[in-house]
Structure 1
Amino acid sequence: MHAWPGSGGDIMGPTVARTASSKINTPPLKNGSDLRESGYLIAVGSRTARFRRRHMNKMLLLLLATLIALLFIALLVFIILYVKEKFHKPIRLCKSKECLRSAANLALSMDKNANPCDDFYQFVCGNWAQDHPRPDAYRSYDWFRDKQSKVYALVRDFLAKNISDQPLPVQQAKDLYTACMDTEKLDKLRLKPVLKILDTLDLPHYPTYINLTEDFDYSTYNFNWLDTVIKIKTQLGMDVLIGFDIFTDPKNSSIYRLVMGSPETTNPFPSMHNDKKKHIGYKNKRPFKILTDDVVLDETFVLNNEQVDNGEEKKKGDDEKTEHIYKLFYAELMKLFVIETGEIKDSKIGEVELDQNIILTANEYFMIYNDVYELETNNDTEIDSDDFLHIPEYTVDEIQTHTDMIVENNNGTAQPIWKEYLEGVFCISNVTLNFETDKILISESDMKYLGLIAAYLSNTPPVVIELYIWVKVVEVMAAHTTKELRLLYQRSYDDMRTHRPESPSPPRSLQCASAVNDLMGMAISYAIVDPHFHNFTRPKIQIMLDEIKNALAHLVGKTKWMDDDTKLATYQKIIQMKTLIGFPDWFYEEGRLEEFYEGIEVNTDTHLDNMINIIQVKIKKVLNKFRNGNNYTWATDPTEVNAYHTFQENTITVPMVMLQYPFFNLGLDSLNYGSLGTVLGHEVTHGFDNFGRQFDKNGNLLPWWTNDTIDSFVNMTQCFIDQYSAYYLPELDEYLDGKKTLGENIADNGGVREALLALKRHLHMYGPEEKLPGFEHMTSEQLFFLSYGNLWCGVSTRDSLEADLNDEHSPQKFRARGALQNNEEFAKAWHCPPGSPMNPTKRCIIF
C-alpha cells in the first residue's frame, strides 16, 4: 500500500486512516526540499552534525590557545631582547687611527699558524721581519732601532730647514749639521784639521816609529807620555792609558767624588754607524765595571779581540783573520798621514822600504795594543755585588806608593804620575784640589790595573808608547775627515763582520743628524718637542708610573721571602723614586737653554773643530761641578730611544721619544700597559734587582736589606739562572748565560707582573675599554700580552746574536718567552694546558 499515490512500489508502509475533522488540506509536495522545509522529513545525519559542532568548538579553542601561546612567546622574546638591549650594550669598537694602526701592526706581525702555548714569540712576531725588512746598515733590527732611525730622520729634516727666530743653541745645532754635511770642504781640507790637533797634543804628524831616516836612534828618543795623556783628556775628553772621571759618591749621592782606573771614554766623538745596542736597561753614573751602562758598541773602528769559541781551530782562524784586517787598516791609516805631510818626498827612503817600515810599525802597534788590552780586561773579572759596599778610597800619595811598589817589583823605574795627572786635568777648571782631603775612589781591580800599567809603561820604550797613543787618538778623529778615510773605515768595518761582508753605511744626512743629536741633544729636543706633551701626554705617563709603583708595593706586600723591616724600607724607596718624563722642566724657562750650552762655538767651515769645542766645554763643566752638590740631571737626551734607572739617584728617566708609537699612544690601555707599561715596570724593578737592591731610597750604596732577606733572594735567583741558561741559540750552537743576564731578566719579569696588575686596577677604576678591530674576541689581558710580545719583535744576524751573548740583556725572543713562561695569568689568558712550553710546571717569581 501507498501513503501517496505514485508510480513506484511501497515507500513507507501501510496507509493511515484519519477522521474528516482532522484532515488537512495540504498542497501536493513536489520534491525532498519541500518536504524538509515543511517539516515532514528529518535528516538522517543530525547526530553527526552535533558531533561536528562539538569538534569544531574544540578546534577553535585549540587554535586560540596556540595563538595565545605564540603571542606569549613573542612577548617573551621581545622582553628578552629589550632587557639585553637595555643592560647589555653592543660591542664598542675603537675606531681611532691609533687603534687601527695598532690592530694592523699586530695582525701583520703575527703568525697565526703558530700555537701561542708552544711558541708565543713566533705567534706574535713570526711575520714581523717581512713587514719590517732589516736595512743593510744594521746587524739587527727591532722596534727600538726602527724608532731611533725615524727620530734621526725627523732631526735631519728639521736641521735641513731654513728656520729663523730660534734660540742660539738651536741655530748652532743647525750650523753643526751644515758643517758635517759639507763633504766637499772636508775633502778640500784633507787631514789638516787632524794635524793641527796633533800639534796641540805634542804628537807627531805620523808615528816616529816609522822612522824615515836611516840614522835614527830610538834609544835617545824622549816622549812625555803623561803630559800628552793629560792634554788628550782636557782637549778631547778621551781616556788613553788612564781612566778618570767624576761620579756621584756611592755612599752619599748628594756629592761628587774623583774616580780612577782603566780607560772608560775611549771614543768621545759621535759614532759613524747607527748599529748600536739599544735596549731597555739601567744607567748608573759610576766607575764600577759590573755596574756600567747598557753596552753600546763602539762603532768607530777599534780593536776587539773577543771571539766566539766554537773550537780551537775555528778560533785560531778567526784570530788570524782579525789580526790581518787590523794590521792592514792601521798600516793604510799611517801611510795616508805620511803622504799628507809630504816628508816622504824629502826622504831617501823608497816606496818599498816605506811600506815595509809601515807594516813593521803596524805590527808593533798590534803587539802593544794586545798587551794593554790584556791589562784592561784582567780587571773585568766578575765581582760579587756585595764587594761594592766596601769601595776603597785613597790619597794620591797612597796610590803612588802602591804603584811604585809594583813598578819596582817588575824591574821598572818608578815615576811620580798621579798627582801630576790630576793637577794637569784640573788646570782647565776653577777647582783646586786638596790632596789631603780629596780622596780618590778606586776599586780593587782598578788599583791592580793602575799598578800594572805603570810598570808596563816604565819598561816600554817612549817611541812605542808614542805610537800607541798616536793611533788611539788619530783613529777616532780621522773618521770625521775625508771621503778616502771614511771608505777605509767602512771597508775594514765590513771585513770584520765575517757573516755579512758588504753593508753600506747609513746616508751622510742620517750620520750627521745622529752626530748633532749626540752632541747637542737638548737643543734638538727643544726644537722638535710636541707642544701638547706637557698638558696631555705627561700626566698620563705619571699616572701609569704611579700605578706601576703601587703594583710593585702590592706585590712586595704579598712576598714571603722579605721580612717586615725590608718590606718597609722597600715601600719607602718606591715612594721616593723620582721620575724624569719626556724632557727637562727647564725647557719652559727663558734663557735656560742658552745657559746649558754656554761657551759653545760652532762654525759652518770647521766640522772637526766644532765637535772638539763642544767636548771641551762639556769636560770643563764636569770638572767645575766637582765642588757642587748633585742636582740629579737627566741620564740621557730626550731624543734617545731607551729608558733608564739611575741607581745612585733612585730616578727613572723616560725620554719623550719613548712616549710615542710604537711604545705608547697605541689606542687602548691594554696595549699601552703591555708595551710602555712593561718598560716602566722594568725600570722600577731595577731598583730592587741584583744590584739595585744595594742602593737605598736616597741612592746611597748602603745595606738596607736584612741578611735573611738577602739569603732568600740569592736562593730564589738560582731559578732564573737555571731557566735562562737552558735557552739555546741554534744559530750559534750556544746557550744563554743566565747569570750574566740575571739582573735584566728579573727586571723583565717584574715589569710584566707590575704592568698587568696596574692595568687591571686601571680598568677597574675607569671601566672596561673598547675592543680592538679584528681582535674583538680577545680579552684585555690577551691584548696586554700580545703588546708585550710585539715589543720584542725583531730580526737578527749571526753577528748580532754573537754580540747578544756578551750582553747583560737576553736576546729578544728570550725576553718575551721567559717573562711570560713565569706568568700564571698568561697561561690562563691563553688557555695553555699544564706542561705546555708556555705553561711549565715550575715558575720563577721574585716579585
Structure 2
Amino acid sequence: MNAWSGEDGDVMGPTVTRAGSAKPNTPPLKNGNDLRESGYLIAVGSRTSRFRRKYRKRMPVIIIIVIFILILIAFIVISILYALAVHRKPIKLCESTECLRSAVNLALSMDTSANPCDNFYQYACGNWASDHPRPDAYQSYDWFQDKQIKVYFLVRDFLNRNTSHQPKAVQQAKDMYNGCMDTDTLDKRGLKPVIAILETLGLPPYPTYINATDDVDYSTYAFDWLDTVIKVKTQIGMDVLIGFDIFTDLKNSTIFKLMMGSPEATNPFPSTYRDRKRHGKRTLKDLVNFIEKTSTRDLIHKIERRSDKSEDLDEKIAQIHKLFYAELMKLFVVEGGGTKNSKLTEVELDENIIEAANEYFEAYSDIYELESSNSTEMDDDDDLNIPEYTVDEIQAHTDAVVENNNGTATPIWKKYLEGIFNVSNTVLDFEKDKILVSDEDLKYMSLMAAYVAKTPPVVLELYIWVKVVEVMSVHTTTELRTLFQRAYDQTHGHKSITPRSVQCANAVNDMLGMAVSYGIADPHFFNVTKPKIITMIDELKDSLAHLVGQARWMDDNTKIATYQKIIEMKSLVGFPDWLLEEGRLEEYYEGIDIDAEKHLENIININQVKTKKVLNMFREPNNITWATDPTEVNAYHTFRENTITVPMVMLQHPFFDLGLDSLNYGSLGTVLGHEITHGFDSVGRHFDKNGNMLPWWSNSTIDSFVNMTRCFIDQYSEYYLPELDKHVDGKNTLAENIADNGGLREALAALKHHLRKREPEPKLPGFEHMTPEQLFFLSYGNLWCGVSTKDALKSDLEDAHTPHLFRAQGVLQNNEDFAKAFHCRPGSNMNPGKRCIIF
C-alpha cells in the first residue's frame, strides 16, 4: 500500500509494504491528527525536516565564529593603522604669512585645467592676467613691472614723509621731489628756464630756421655746431651727433679707455614713460648690453620716441610727430619773443614753423639712417675685438671720406675731446691716449662728418635745438607735458597717464638712486637677508662647478680655468656696504646742489656732476662698482669685473622671501643662476676671471661649444607667435637662452643640496600634493607670468631675451627632472625626445 498516499502517488516517502499478518484490523483513519492522537503515527518525517533541525543547532556557532573573525580582522586593521600612525609624522604645513601669500598668488595665477605636460606656461600662468590687469601706462605687464610700480610707491611715500636726522643727500632727494611736484611754480616759470639753458649752450630761444623776423640770410648764417655739441655733452650729459663715453679697457680691466661712435646717451633726463626700450644692434650699445652688463629684464629706461626707433614709420605716425614738433616750436617762438618782432603774418609764421618741423624730420631721418648703417650682428665666434686709434688717425680716415663725398674736411675729433675734458681735471695725451672705435662706429663717424660738411648751418642748429629742447621741455609746464602726452598716446595707440607723484618719485629715483635707497633700506638686511643670499649664491656656484665637471665637451685645462673664474666671481648684494655709514652718502653726491623751486636746473646740475665724475676717473684705477641702483628691479652680470649685482628690491616678494626654499630657489635662485651662467655664455666666455678679454678657452672647447649652441638656436627659432606670424630669433637670443637654461639647472641642483642638509620642508597650504621639485618648477614658471599687447610682443621679438612664454617652456623642455617631477610621458610637448644642454 502507499503510506499517506495521494491521488497521484506517494507524497511523503517511498512505498511501504507490510506482510499480511502485520496488518492491523482497524478501521481506516480519516486524517493525520487522528493517527497522532491514536499513537499510531510515531516519528514519521522527511529528510528536509531532519536537516532543518541540525541547521538550527549549528547556527549560533557559525554566527559566533563569523563575529569572532570580523573582530579579529578589525583588531588587526586597527593595530596596523595605529602602528603606522605611531611611526609616521603628521603632515606639517607652512602657515607663515610668506607661505600663505605664496600659496594664494600661485593658486590665483594657475589654470589647473591645463595639462602641465602639454603647456606648462598655461598651467602656471593661465589666470595671471585676469588677476593682474595691465595698467594703461604699460604695453606689457609682469611680475618685474608689478614690483617696480610698488617700489615707486614706496619711494613716493618715503619722499613725502617728514623725517629728521637724515643725511644731506636724502634731504636733497626730498627737495627735488617737492620741486617736481610743485606744478604751480613750474607753470609760473614757464619756458624761461629752458631758454636760459639754451643760451648757455649757444642756441637761440627758437630755431633760426623759422625766420620769424624775416631778415635771416641763410647763405651767410654761421653756427658752430661742434662747440654746441660739446656744451650739450658737458652741461646736460647728452650725446648729439657724436657718441662718447669712458669704458674699462677690454684687455686690462684695471684701467679705463676712451670710446667714441654713434650717440648713446640720447636722453640723460629722468624717465617719463615706462615703455620697453628696443634693443638695437649698434656696436657701442652692444658693448653696453653684452660687455658692460647683461640684464635679466630691462625695466628702467630713458625716454625714447617710437619715431626715433621705428624703421617702418607710416605717414600717419610721421604726421603726428611733425605736428608735435611744430607745436613745440610755436610755443618757444611765442615765449622767446618771436611774435613781437615778427614781420610775418600769423599765417606766414605758422607756415614757416611747419616747414621747420618738416626740415627737422628730414634731417632726423637722414641721421637716423647713418646710425642704422652701422648695425651689426654679433656672432658666437666674434672676439669682440675693437680697434684702437689715435685721434689723428681717426681724423685722417674721416677726412678722406668727407673729401670723397665732395665735402670740405674740418678738424673735429681733437677739438671735441679737448672741449669735453676741459670741464675735468684730466689732460689728455693724444699720442698715448688711444680711442676705441669699432669698424661700424668709424663708418658712422665718417659719414656723419661728410653729412655735416654739406648741411647748411641753420639746419644743423635746427636739428640740435629740437633734440635738446625735446628732452628738457617735458620737465617744465603743464602745457608742454600735455603736448608730449598727447603725441605719445597717439603714436602708441593708447593712453598712458601716470600719476604725477609716481612720475616725480621715478625722476628722483633715476637721478638720486642711492639717496633714495638709504631712506628705504632695511638696517637688519646685513644680519638677516644677506647671509641667506650669500649662501644661495655659494650653492649655485658650487652647482655650476659640478655641472662643469660633468661636461664632456670641455677639456681639463678649460675646466680648471672655469673653476677659477667661478671662485673669483664677486657678488654685490642688496646695497653697497658703505651706504649706511655716516658721511659716505654726502661724499658720493659731493658737488650736487638742489633747489626745491628749480626742478629743471636740479636735473641738469646732477648731470653735470655725474659727467665730471666720469671724466675725472679716466686716470684712476678701476674699482668694482654697482651696475645699478638698489631700487631697480633687475639683476646684472658685469663681464669686465666678473661680478653679479643683485639690488635689494629683488630680495623681496615676489622673487624671494616666499616661505619655502623650493619657491625661493625656483624664483630668485634661477635669476641668480642666470647671472652666474652669463659669465660662460656666448659672450661671457671671452672674459677671464679678472674681466679681461683674453683667450682662456682651448680651441677644441670653443669648437664643441659653438656646435652645441646650434641646438639652442634651432630650438628657440621654432617658437612661433601666431598673432604676429613670426618666429623667435634663436641667434639673437642665444646668450640669454643659455643663461636661462644653465641658471635653472644650477638652482635645482643647489636646492637639492640645500634640502639634504635640513629637515624636510613643510607643505604649502593647498599644494600638499606637490613635491619640493614640483613647487620649484611651478615657482620658476610663475616668475615669467605676464601679459603683453601686440606692439609689446613686437618689441619682445627684437629683444635679446626670449618672450616670457618661451622663456619658461623652453628651459623646462630641456630639463629631464621636470618631466620626471610631473610624470610627463615621452614625446609629450614638455618631454621631447631631444634636449639642448650646455651647462
Common fold by TM > 0.5: yes
Deviation at 1:828, TM superposition (A): 1.0
Q: 1:66 to 1:214 in 2, by over 3 A?
A: closer
Residue aligning to 2:305: 302
Residue aligning to 1:11: none
Which residue of 726, 733, 746 maps to 2:725? 733
Deviation at 1:695, TM superposition (A): 0.7
CA contact (8 A) 1:745 1:809 kept: yes
Which residue of 668, 682, 690 maps to 1:676? 668
Q: Give the aligned residue type for 1:659.
A: L
CA contact (8 A) 1:284 1:646 kept: no
Residue aligning to 1:587: 579
- Describe the superposition over 1:568-627 as per-residue Cα deviations: whole angstroms up to 9, x where unpaired: 111111111100000000123221111001111001100000011111111111111111
Deviation at 1:655, TM superposition (A): 0.3
CA contact (8 A) 1:301 1:475 kept: no
Residue aligning to 1:608: 600
Q: 1:182 to 1:278 in 2, by over 3 A?
A: farther
Residue aligning to 1:94: 94
Deviation at 1:82, TM superposition (A): 4.3
Is residue 363 from structure 1 mapped to residue 366 from structure 2 by the alignment? no
Q: 1:289 to 1:165 in 2, by over 3 A?
A: closer
CA distance in structure 2 between the aligned counterparts of 1:351 and 1:388, rounded to whole angstroms: 59
Which residue of 568, 586, 595 maps to 1:576? 568
CA contact (8 A) 1:300 1:479 kept: no
CA contact (8 A) 1:284 1:292 kept: no
Q: Secondary structure at the match of 1:773?
A: coil
The alignment's TM-score, normalised by the length of structure 1, stands at 0.89
Structure 1 stretch displaced more, 82-91 or 691-700? 82-91
Residue aligning to 2:620: 628
- Describe the superposition over 1:303-348 as per-residue Cα deviations: whole angstroms up to 9, x where unpaired: 536558xxxxxx6xx5212211111111111111001112212211
Q: 1:288 to 1:60 in 2, by over 3 A?
A: closer
Q: 1:296 to 1:656 in 2, by over 3 A?
A: closer
Structure 1 stretch displaced more, 453-462 or 75-84? 75-84
CA contact (8 A) 2:230 2:416 kept: yes
Residue aligning to 1:274: 274
Residue aligning to 2:418: 423
Residue aligning to 1:375: 370
Residue aligning to 1:329: 324
CA contact (8 A) 1:285 1:646 kept: no
- Describe the superposition over 1:220-247 as per-residue Cα deviations: whole angstroms up to 9, x where unpaired: 1111111111111110111111111111
Residue aligning to 1:119: 119
Which residue of 800, 803, 825 maps to 2:817? 825
Residue aligning to 2:775: 783
Residue aligning to 1:406: 401
Q: Give the aligned residue type for 1:542.
A: I
Q: Give the aligned residue type for 1:658.
A: M
Residue aligning to 2:459: 464
Residue aligning to 2:524: 532
Is residue 244 from structure 1 mapped to residue 247 from structure 2 by the alignment? no
Q: Secondary structure at the match of 2:245?
A: strand
CA distance in structure 2 between the aligned counterparts of 1:627 and 1:75, rounded to whole angstroms: 88
Q: Give the aligned residue type for 2:324.
A: F
Q: Give the aligned residue type for 1:809.
A: H
CA distance in structure 1 between the aligned counterparts of 2:304 and 2:441, rounded to whole angstroms: 25
CA distance in structure 2 between the aligned counterparts of 1:113 and 1:663, rounded to whole angstroms: 26
Q: Give the aligned residue type for 1:817.
A: Q
Q: 1:298 to 1:222 in 2, by over 3 A?
A: farther
Q: 1:287 to 1:831 in 2, by over 3 A?
A: closer
Q: 1:429 to 1:299 in 2, by over 3 A?
A: closer
Q: How does 1:59-208 map to 2 (within 5 A)?
A: 76-77=76-77, 79-208=79-208
Deviation at 1:275, TM superposition (A): 3.2
Q: Percent identity?
A: 68
CA distance in structure 2 between the aligned counterparts of 1:745 and 1:666, rounded to whole angstroms: 25
CA distance in structure 2 between the aligned counterparts of 1:764 and 1:215, rounded to whole angstroms: 84
Structure 1 stretch displaced more, 676-685 or 832-841? 832-841
Which residue of 556, 562, 566 maps to 2:558? 566
CA contact (8 A) 2:148 2:632 kept: yes
CA distance in structure 2 between the aligned counterparts of 1:735 and 1:97, rounded to whole angstroms: 42
CA distance in structure 1 between the aligned counterparts of 2:60 and 2:134, rounded to whole angstroms: 80
How many residues are paired up?
783
Q: Give the aligned residue type for 1:128.
A: W
Structure 1 stretch displaced more, 775-784 or 380-389? 380-389
Q: 1:477 to 1:122 in 2, by over 3 A?
A: same
Residue aligning to 2:438: 443
Q: Give the aligned residue type for 1:726.
A: E
Q: Secondary structure at the match of 1:533?
A: coil
Q: Give the aligned residue type for 1:740.
A: N
Q: Secondary structure at the match of 2:578?
A: helix
CA contact (8 A) 2:360 2:463 kept: yes
CA contact (8 A) 2:714 2:730 kept: yes
Which residue of 534, 543, 547 maps to 1:555? 547
CA distance in structure 2 between the aligned counterparts of 1:547 and 1:292, rounded to whole angstroms: 25
CA distance in structure 1 between the aligned counterparts of 2:724 and 2:55, rounded to whole angstroms: 91
Q: Give the aligned residue type for 1:383.
A: M
CA distance in structure 2 between the aligned counterparts of 1:63 and 1:213, rounded to whole angstroms: 122
- Describe the superposition over 1:789-837 as per-residue Cα deviations: whole angstroms up to 9, x where unpaired: 1001111111111111111111111111110111111111111111111
- Describe the superposition over 1:759-784 as per-residue Cα deviations: whole angstroms up to 9, x where unpaired: 11111111321001111011111111
Q: 1:289 to 1:59 in 2, by over 3 A?
A: closer
Q: 1:122 to 1:616 in 2, by over 3 A?
A: same
Is residue 837 from structure 1 mapped to residue 837 from structure 2 by the alignment? no
CA contact (8 A) 2:274 2:300 kept: no
CA contact (8 A) 2:650 2:656 kept: yes
Q: Secondary structure at the match of 1:343?
A: coil
CA distance in structure 1 between the aligned counterparts of 2:590 and 2:76, rounded to whole angstroms: 80
Q: Secondary structure at the match of 1:380?
A: coil
Q: Give the aligned residue type for 1:353.
A: E
Q: Secondary structure at the match of 1:664?
A: coil
Q: Secondary structure at the match of 2:314?
A: helix
Deviation at 1:637, TM superposition (A): 0.4
Is residue 481 from structure 1 mapped to residue 476 from structure 2 by the alignment? yes
- Describe the superposition over 1:382-403 as per-residue Cα deviations: whole angstroms up to 9, x where unpaired: 1335444532111111111111
- Describe the superposition over 1:681-731 as per-residue Cα deviations: whole angstroms up to 9, x where unpaired: 110111111101111111111111111111111111111111111111122
- Describe the superposition over 1:106-136 as per-residue Cα deviations: whole angstroms up to 9, x where unpaired: 1111111111111111111111111111111
CA contact (8 A) 1:248 1:286 kept: no
CA distance in structure 1 between the aligned counterparts of 2:440 and 2:291, rounded to whole angstroms: 14
Q: Secondary structure at the match of 1:702?
A: coil
CA distance in structure 2 between the aligned counterparts of 1:504 and 1:455, rounded to whole angstroms: 40
Q: Give the aligned residue type for 2:171.
A: Q
Q: Secondary structure at the match of 1:176?
A: helix
CA contact (8 A) 1:290 1:383 kept: no
Structure 1 stretch displaced more, 143-152 or 318-327? 318-327
Q: Give the aligned residue type for 1:639.
A: T
CA contact (8 A) 1:267 1:298 kept: no
Q: Secondary structure at the match of 1:581?
A: strand
Q: How does 1:315-326 map to 2 (within 5 A)?
A: 318-326=313-321
Q: Give the aligned residue type for 2:128.
A: W
- Describe the superposition over 1:189-228 as per-residue Cα deviations: whole angstroms up to 9, x where unpaired: 1100100100100001111111123342111111111111
Structure 1 stretch displaced more, 408-417 or 142-151? 408-417
Deviation at 1:662, TM superposition (A): 0.4
